[in-house]
Structure 1
Amino acid sequence: MLISMNWISEFTDLSGIDLKDLINRFTLSTAEVEDIYEKGKDIKNVVVGEILSVKEHPGSKKLHLLKVNTGDEIVDCVCGAPGVMEGMYVPFAKTGGQVGDLAIKEVILAGERSCGMCCSEKEIGVSEDNTGLMVLDKSHAPGTDIREFMELEDVVFEVDNKSLTNRPDLWGHYGIAREIACLTKRPLKPLEVLDTKQFADFPKVPVTVENTEKTYRYSTITASNITRKLSPVGIKIRLTYCGMRPIDLLTDLTNYIMLELGQPMHAFDNAIIKDIRVKTFDKSFEFRTLDEVNRTIDKDTLMICSADGKPAAIAGIMGGQLSCINENTTGLLLESANFDSVSVRKSAVRLGMRTDASARYEKTLDPEMTVPAIERFLKLLTEADKGIQITSSLTDVYVKKYAIVNIDFDKAFVDKYTGISISTDHITETLTALGFIVARDGDNFSVTVPSYRATKDVTIKADIIEEITRIYGYDNIEIKSNKSLLSPVHHNSSREDEYRIKQLLADRFGMNEVHTYIWYDSKSNKELGINTPPNVRIINSVTAENDTIKATLIPSLLNIVNRNAALIPEMGIFEIGRVTEGFKEDGLCRERKKLGIVIASRDMTEKQTFFQIKEIIENITYAIRNCLPAYQNTEISKNCNYIHPVNSAVIRIHERVIGYFSGIHPKVRERIDKKLNLAFAEIDMDDLLELGKETIKYREISKYPGIYIDYSFLVDKEKRYEELQRDISAFRCEYLKSYGVVDVFEDDTLLKGNKSITVRFEFGSDERTLESKEINEMTEVLLSILKEKGIHLR
Structure 2
Amino acid sequence: MRVSVSWLREYVDLPADLPAGDLERALVDLGIEVESLVDLRETVTGPLVVGEVLQIEELTGFKKPIRFCRVDVGAANGTGEPQEIVCGARNFAPGDKVVVILPGGVLPGNFAIGARKTYGRNSHGMICSATELGLGDDHSGIIVLPEDTPAKPGDDARPVVGLDDVVVEMEITPDRGYALSVRGIARELSLALGVPFRDPAAVDAPGGTAEPAYPVEVRDTVGCDRFAARLVRGVDPTAQTPGWMAQRLTVAGIRSISLPVDITNYLMLELGQPMHAFDADRISGPLVVRRAEPGEKLTTLDGVTRTLVAEDLVICDDTGPVSLAAVMGGETSEVVAGTTNVLFEAAHWDPAMVGRTARRHKLFSEAAKRWERGVDPTLALVAIEKAVRLLTEHAGGTAGAEILDLDHVRPRTPIALPADLPSRRVGVAYPPERVVELLEQVGCAVTRGADRLGEDPGEAGVPASGGAPVLTVTPPSWRPDLTDPADLVEEVVRLDGYDRVPSVLPTAPAGRGLTGQQQRRRAVARSLAERGYVEVLAQPFVSPELPDQLGLPADDPRRAAVRLANPLSEEEPLLRTTLLGPLLGIVRRNIGRGQRDVAIYEIGAVFHPRPGAGAPPAMGVDRRPTDAEFAAADAVVPDQPRHVAVALAGEIEPAGWWGAGRPAGWADAVEAGRAVLAAAGIPADRVTVRSAERAPWHPGRCAELLVDDTVVGYAGELHPAVVASLELPRRTSAAELNLDALPAAPMVTGPTISTFPPALIDVALVVDEQVPAAEVERALVAGAGELLEAVRLFDVYASAQLGAGRRSLAYKLTFRAPDRTLTVEEAVAARDAAVAEAARRCGATLRGA
TM-score normalized by the length of structure 1: 0.69
How far off its partner does 1:321 sit?
A: 2.3
Per-residue Cα deviation, 1:239-281 (whole angstroms, up to 9, x for no partner): 0011011122111110111111222111112233374221344
User: What residue in structure 2 maps to residue 468 of structure 1?
Assistant: 492
**AA partner of residue 166 (structure 1):** D
**AA partner of residue 675 (structure 2):** N
User: What residue in structure 1 maps to residue 546 of structure 2?
Assistant: none
Contact 2:69 2:84 in 1 (8 A): yes
How far off its partner does 1:671 sit?
A: 13
Written as runs of structure 1 = structure 2, the 5 A alignment for 1:266-305 is: 266-273=276-283, 275-282=286-293, 284-305=295-316
SS at match of 1:452: coil
SS at match of 1:451: coil
How far off its partner does 1:435 sit?
A: 1.6
Are residue 401 (structure 1) and residue 405 (structure 2) matched?
Answer: no
- Which deviates further from its counterpart, 5-14 or 613-622? 613-622
SS at match of 1:264: coil
Are residue 486 (structure 1) and residue 509 (structure 2) matched?
Answer: yes
How far off its partner does 1:356 sit?
A: 1.5
* Residue 78 of structure 1, aligned match among 78, 82, 89: 82
* Residue 624 of structure 1, aligned match among 667, 676, 680: 680
User: What residue in structure 2 maps to residue 692 of structure 1?
Assistant: 747
Change (3 A) 1:723 1:65: closer
Aligned residue pair count: 701
Change (3 A) 1:288 1:745: closer
Written as runs of structure 1 = structure 2, the 5 A alignment for 1:197-346 is: 197=206, 200=209, 204-227=213-236, 229-273=239-283, 275-282=286-293, 284-306=295-317, 308-346=318-356
- Which deviates further from its counterpart, 460-469 or 614-623? 614-623
Q: CA-atom RMSD, angstroms?
A: 6.2
User: What residue in structure 2 maps to residue 772 of structure 1?
Assistant: none
SS at match of 2:743: helix
Separation (CA, whole Å) in 2 of partners of 1:579 and 1:199: 51
Per-residue Cα deviation, 1:303-326 (whole angstroms, up to 9, x for no partner): 2223x3443222112222232222
**AA partner of residue 33 (structure 2):** E
SS at match of 1:375: helix
SS at match of 1:394: strand
How far off its partner does 1:628 sit?
A: 1.8
SS at match of 1:391: strand
Change (3 A) 1:310 1:431: same
User: What residue in structure 1 maps to residue 442 of structure 2?
Assistant: 434
User: What residue in structure 2 maps to residue 458 of structure 1?
Assistant: 482
Contact 1:599 1:680 in 2 (8 A): yes
Contact 1:192 1:379 in 2 (8 A): no
- Which deviates further from its counterpart, 31-40 or 140-149? 140-149
User: What residue in structure 2 maps to residue 20 of structure 1?
Assistant: 21
How far off its partner does 1:184 sit?
A: 0.7
Contact 1:648 1:663 in 2 (8 A): yes
Change (3 A) 1:347 1:414: closer
**AA partner of residue 78 (structure 1):** P
Separation (CA, whole Å) in 1 of partners of 2:153 and 2:23: 37
TM-score normalized by the length of structure 2: 0.65
Are residue 446 (structure 1) and residue 501 (structure 2) matched?
Answer: no
**AA partner of residue 184 (structure 1):** L
User: What residue in structure 1 maps to residue 762 of structure 2?
Assistant: 710
Contact 2:73 2:154 in 1 (8 A): no
Separation (CA, whole Å) in 1 of partners of 2:163 and 2:415: 44
How far off its partner does 1:297 sit?
A: 3.9
Contact 2:278 2:342 in 1 (8 A): yes
- Which deviates further from its counterpart, 35-44 or 203-212? 35-44
Written as runs of structure 1 = structure 2, the 5 A alignment for 1:23-172 is: 23-41=24-42, 42=44, 68=74, 76-79=80-83, 134=145, 137=148, 151-160=162-171, 163-172=172-181
**AA partner of residue 260 (structure 2):** L
SS at match of 1:76: coil
Contact 1:38 1:156 in 2 (8 A): yes
**AA partner of residue 154 (structure 1):** D
Contact 2:20 2:37 in 1 (8 A): no
Contact 1:77 1:116 in 2 (8 A): no
SS at match of 1:334: strand
Separation (CA, whole Å) in 1 of partners of 2:266 and 2:686: 75
Per-residue Cα deviation, 1:209-241 (whole angstroms, up to 9, x for no partner): 123343222111112232362111111111001
Written as runs of structure 1 = structure 2, the 5 A alignment for 1:328-727 is: 328-385=338-395, 387-401=396-410, 403-410=412-419, 412-440=420-448, 444=469, 445-454=471-480, 457-480=481-504, 486-489=509-512, 491-501=514-524, 528=554, 615-625=671-681, 627-630=683-686, 651=706, 657=708, 659-660=710-711, 688-689=743-744, 691-695=746-750, 710-712=762-764, 721-722=777-778, 724-725=780-781
Separation (CA, whole Å) in 2 of partners of 1:31 and 1:126: 22
**AA partner of residue 9 (structure 1):** R
**AA partner of residue 282 (structure 2):** I
How far off its partner does 1:438 sit?
A: 2.6
How far off its partner does 1:486 sit?
A: 2.9
Separation (CA, whole Å) in 1 of partners of 2:356 and 2:640: 39
SS at match of 2:369: helix
Larger Rg computed on CA atoms: 1
Change (3 A) 1:669 1:527: farther
* Residue 760 of structure 1, aligned match among 812, 816, 831: 812
SS at match of 1:197: coil
Separation (CA, whole Å) in 2 of partners of 1:360 and 1:268: 20
Per-residue Cα deviation, 1:340-381 (whole angstroms, up to 9, x for no partner): 333333333443432212222222333223222223323433
Change (3 A) 1:294 1:105: closer
Contact 2:583 2:602 in 1 (8 A): no
**AA partner of residue 316 (structure 2):** C
Separation (CA, whole Å) in 2 of partners of 1:392 and 1:197: 10
Separation (CA, whole Å) in 1 of partners of 2:4 and 2:527: 53
How far off its partner does 1:781 sit?
A: 5.6
Contact 2:146 2:242 in 1 (8 A): no
Change (3 A) 1:276 1:506: farther
SS at match of 2:36: strand
Contact 1:266 1:334 in 2 (8 A): yes
Are residue 742 (structure 1) and residue 753 (structure 2) matched?
Answer: no
Contact 2:73 2:153 in 1 (8 A): no
User: What residue in structure 1 maps to residue 618 of structure 2?
Assistant: none
Separation (CA, whole Å) in 2 of partners of 1:283 and 1:95: 58
Seq. identity, %:
22
Change (3 A) 1:402 1:600: farther
Change (3 A) 1:7 1:487: same
Change (3 A) 1:216 1:48: same
SS at match of 1:303: strand
Separation (CA, whole Å) in 1 of partners of 2:704 and 2:158: 86
Separation (CA, whole Å) in 1 of partners of 2:809 and 2:702: 20
Separation (CA, whole Å) in 1 of partners of 2:410 and 2:383: 17
User: What residue in structure 1 maps to residue 570 of structure 2?
Assistant: none
Separation (CA, whole Å) in 1 of partners of 2:241 and 2:834: 105
Separation (CA, whole Å) in 2 of partners of 1:593 and 1:332: 56
Separation (CA, whole Å) in 1 of partners of 2:46 and 2:400: 45
Separation (CA, whole Å) in 1 of partners of 2:778 and 2:312: 68
Contact 1:257 1:264 in 2 (8 A): yes
SS at match of 1:358: helix
How far off its partner does 1:165 sit?
A: 1.3
Change (3 A) 1:374 1:230: same
